[in-house]
Copies of this chain bind each other. A is one copy, B any other.
Amino acid sequence: MKILLASLPRFGLAVIALLLSLALRGQAGENPERPPNIIVVFADDLGYGDLGAYGHPTIRTPHLDRMAAEGQKWTNFYVGASVCTPSRAALMTGRLPVRSGMVSRERRVLYPYSKNGLPESEITIADQLKSAGYATACVGKWHLGHKEPYLPTNNGFDYYFGIPYSNDMDIVADLEAAGGYWNFFTSPAGAETESYNVPLMRNTEIVERPADQHTITRRYTEEAMDFIRGRGDEPFFVYLAHNLPHIPLFASEEFEGTSQRGIYGDVVEEIDAGIGRIRQLLEEEGLAKNTLIVFTSDNGPWLPFGIQGGSAGLLREGKGTTWEGGMREPCIFWGPGMIRPGVVTDLGTTMDLFTTFTALAGVPEPEDRPMDGLDLAPVLFGDGSSPRNTVFYYRGDELYAIRVGDYKAHFITQGAYGGEERAEHDPPLLYNLSMDPSERHNIAEAHPEVITEIQSAVAEHQRELVKGKDQLIDLDER
């Protein structure tokens, strides 16, 4: 336990207990000193209500449901933003995207004609794990810059395979003729993989264009498996970021038309089956007891697309908003013998994965910058509580809402695209999310003392906040 003991002060007791237990039981493969493998599976636009274990009536996700039952099912787990690019920046850096500049008031995400990407100065979770000796792979959607300096292989990953941005970009269609953007996706042309000229990359090279999206979910799964297979004693980190169920929706022949929930269900069930295949591989490779799997999604369901979009279950609204449906996600932690099984109602965020996993790997956290992640080890591996008490809900670089404990205050609300207009609230709207997860009953009048407390938390946050330079604003000439 050489590496680990060196950084002992950074570790909670729970992690020490976990590592000792791994060592004593010899579950860490041939070398009991090594930290566990880590697989983060990240879905795209999957809603809080879209898995069986989270209450969907017709989408069948037996593999994820089983992992939720064997591991931890988190019910108050948040992403760092309600749209792709900033949410992914938060996961990768362990920092609010407003710090790295991966947000903008002008546009919400990076586009194929965007100039920039994740600043070189940012440290990614892959950088951290690589420095601890992990082999690192990014398979799937990146969306933190598609130009070479910004690609995964320049951000701590040994290997990259995937579509570098969203699968609805590079549209090859006359959208006006197709009845507009919103109608295009449910039209026959919208269901053609050739309608999206998106590139598929291996490392820094484009290897296919347009990417065959029908097979993309299966190929991502298999690329991840190839990276894992035969790795033996070398610890690995796989970031498997599916491009789906973001529209346009595509499933492979084996899954298309098989679910009760239409193509959306086919896609989610194919992702679930892929996780089952990865689990099976871990068993075959003797790695099942030394690998952590985390499953979550980048933001809530894209509701304006009707049945092509997912469901936030009992949560209000979806993608693009700072209502709960936009930023609270299913999150399952699985790792037999490591993760203490149960339902967890404590607060967690994707930024905490950075902190938790780099601590687990024995790497010090960056000390030259403000970090937003917290170490979830006490909950994951012990019987402690989450250190997190606060969640920030940004839209672009503006703080729209904040959760402190059970209470959430909305200073600004706004629908995703169209719909609810921007509205500022003073006093803020106030909800008790434990009592009222659907944000139906504004209790601001009855609890001015809570609002006062929340406002001081906001003031403190804003005092120390240094916003990063907007990385989304600059575009190539077209």
**Interface of A toward B, CB cutoff 8 Å:** 48-49, 52-58, 60, 62, 65, 69, 75-76, 260-262, 265, 306-307, 311-314, 343, 345, 406, 432, 434-438, 440-441
Given contacts A307-B441, A314-B49, contact A260 B55 (CB under 8 A): no
Query: Do the beta carbons of A307 and B260 come within 8 Å of each other?
Result: no
A48 CB contacts on chain B under 8 angstroms: 55
A265 CB contacts on chain B under 8 angstroms: 435
A343 CB contacts on chain B under 8 angstroms: 52, 60, 62, 65
A260 CB contacts on chain B under 8 angstroms: 345, 406, 434-435
Given contacts A69-B69, A440-B306, A441-B306, contact A55 B434 (CB under 8 A): no
7 sample A-B contacts, Cβ–Cβ < 8 Å, listed by A number: A54-B55, A55-B55, A55-B56, A57-B437, A58-B75, A260-B406, A262-B435
A312 CB contacts on chain B under 8 angstroms: 314
A65 CB contacts on chain B under 8 angstroms: 343
Query: Do the beta carbons of B307 and A58 come within 8 Å of each other?
Result: no
A56 CB contacts on chain B under 8 angstroms: 55, 75, 314, 437
From residue A274, how far is it (CB to closest CB) to chain B in Å?
19
**The residue from B75, B261, B438 contacting A435, defined by CB atoms under 8 A apart:** B261
**The residue from B53, B314, B345, B440 contacting A314, defined by CB atoms under 8 A apart:** B314
From residue A58, how far is it (CB to closest CB) to chain B in Å?
5
Closest to A312 in B: B314
The 6 A-B residue pairs with the shortest CB-CB distance, nearest first, are A55-B55, A57-B75, A260-B434, A262-B435, A58-B434, A54-B55
Q: In the complex the two chains form, what is the Cα distance from A403 to B78 in whole Å?
A: 37
Q: In the complex the two chains form, what is the Cα distance from A223 to B5 in whole Å?
A: 57
Q: In the complex the two chains form, what is the Cα distance from A69 to B68 in whole Å?
A: 11
Q: Beyond the given A55-B55, A307-B432, could you list 20 further A-B residue pairs with CB under 8 A, ordered by the A residue number?
A: A52-B343, A53-B55, A54-B55, A55-B56, A55-B313, A56-B437, A57-B75, A57-B314, A58-B434, A58-B437, A260-B434, A260-B435, A262-B434, A262-B435, A307-B436, A307-B440, A307-B441, A311-B314, A311-B437, A313-B313
From residue A76, how far is it (CB to closest CB) to chain B in Å?
6
A262 CB contacts on chain B under 8 angstroms: 434-435
Q: Which of A56, A65, A313 has the most CB of B within 10 A?
A: A313
Query: Do the beta carbons of B58 and A345 come within 8 Å of each other?
Result: yes
From residue A188, how far is it (CB to closest CB) to chain B in Å?
15
Query: Do the beta carbons of A311 and B438 come within 8 Å of each other?
Result: yes
A53 CB contacts on chain B under 8 angstroms: 53, 55
From residue A282, how far is it (CB to closest CB) to chain B in Å?
22
Q: In the complex the two chains form, what is the Cα distance from A441 to B304 in whole Å?
A: 11
Closest to A259 in B: B434
A58 CB contacts on chain B under 8 angstroms: 75-76, 345, 434-435, 437
Closest to A76 in B: B57
Closest to A309 in B: B440
From residue A139, how far is it (CB to closest CB) to chain B in Å?
29
Closest to A66 in B: B69
Q: In the complex the two chains form, what is the Cα distance from A343 to B261 in whole Å?
A: 15
Q: In the complex the two chains form, what is the Cα distance from A54 to B51 in whole Å?
A: 10
Query: Do the beta carbons of B441 and A261 come within 8 Å of each other?
Result: no
